[in-house]
Amino acid sequence: MDRKRNRRWARTAACAGLALGALGLSAAPALADGRAAARAAPASAAAPLPTFDFTDCPTLPAGADPDKWRCEVHVATGDMKLGGLTVPLRPMTITHAEGPLPDGSTGQVFGAMHATPSPATGGLPNIPGLPERAPMLGVNVKTKYGGWFDFLSHGTSAGGLDVTFALSGPLLPENCSIGTAEQPIRLTMMRKGPNEWISKDPPILKGTLWDNTVAIPAATDCGPLGAVLNHRNNLPSPGGANSVTLDGLYTFKTYTQLGR
């Protein structure tokens, strides 16, 4: 990379604080002085780089500078404990944009969330009415965006996100879910250790976020078996009895680089 491109990369990286990684991994101080890239492990640098899809980058607010705004793409796996449901998360992708607004404040615009339904351990009895220790019929859990996010980082806090968990299975109706559009679940994510640079060009970071304080409500709109589902999986479940862990990769491009 030549000097002009290096200067451009450093200016781009410093223009706004990195948000959630996986759901945005903050690395603003490291990007600002450019030293974190030099600490990337040789083994990580030698590994094949992942590809990221910028299709869901949202439209910028009026007056936003495309050279100072960037689109951020976060890809995460991980695991969740929602009451008695244990969910190993299949890949999910979150896209958003952030940058300075004309009044000097930092703006954020949500793009999209895409998540693959993940099979959970726990669920429903194979036959309704079987005793308490009857074998369980698993359900799938799909994470959906709940209408609010704040991916600006503050210290070890990596921001927050409202979600709902859609539940599906052969005995469940279509709208069965934990959390609803009217009352979503708010995740408050913290960083679990420092982030790791995978690549400087393109910029890719790796890190882990988690929330072990979230309270999980009872499942709703689950038909005749809703009460059984909640009873067998200890729902609702208070804060401290649940957890969400996201292991993610994160990258970004300015809107100028995207040609917008």
pLDDT tens, 165-184?
999 988 899 999 999 999 99
Tell whether 109 is covered by a domain. yes
* Cis peptide bond upstream of 29, omega within 30: no
Q: Is residue 26 within 8 Å of 195, Cβ to Cβ?
A: yes
Quickly state the pLDDT bin for 47 (edges 50, 70, 90): low
Q: What is the mean pLDDT of residues 244-256?
A: 96
Tell whether 73 is covered by a domain. yes
Q: Which residue has the higher pLDDT, 153 or 152?
A: 152
Tell whether 260 is covered by a domain. no
Tell whether 216 is covered by a domain. yes
Q: Is residue 181 within 8 Å of 202, Cβ to Cβ?
A: no
pLDDT tens, 184-214?
999 999 998 888 999 999 999 999 999 999 9
Q: Is residue 90 within 8 Å of 77, Cβ to Cβ?
A: yes
Tell whether 33 is covered by a domain. yes
Tell whether 28 is covered by a domain. yes
Counted domains in the chain:
1
Q: What is the mean pLDDT of residues 119-131?
A: 69
CA atoms within 13 A on the CB side of 120: 26
Q: Could you tell me the CA-to-CA distances from 231 to 19, 51, 179, 203, 234 in Å, in that order?
A: 37, 42, 16, 46, 5
Secondary-structure breakdown of the chain: helix, strand, coil percentages, each rounded to the nearest 5: 15, 45, 40
pLDDT at site 167: 96
pLDDT tens, 53-75?
999 999 999 999 999 999 999 99
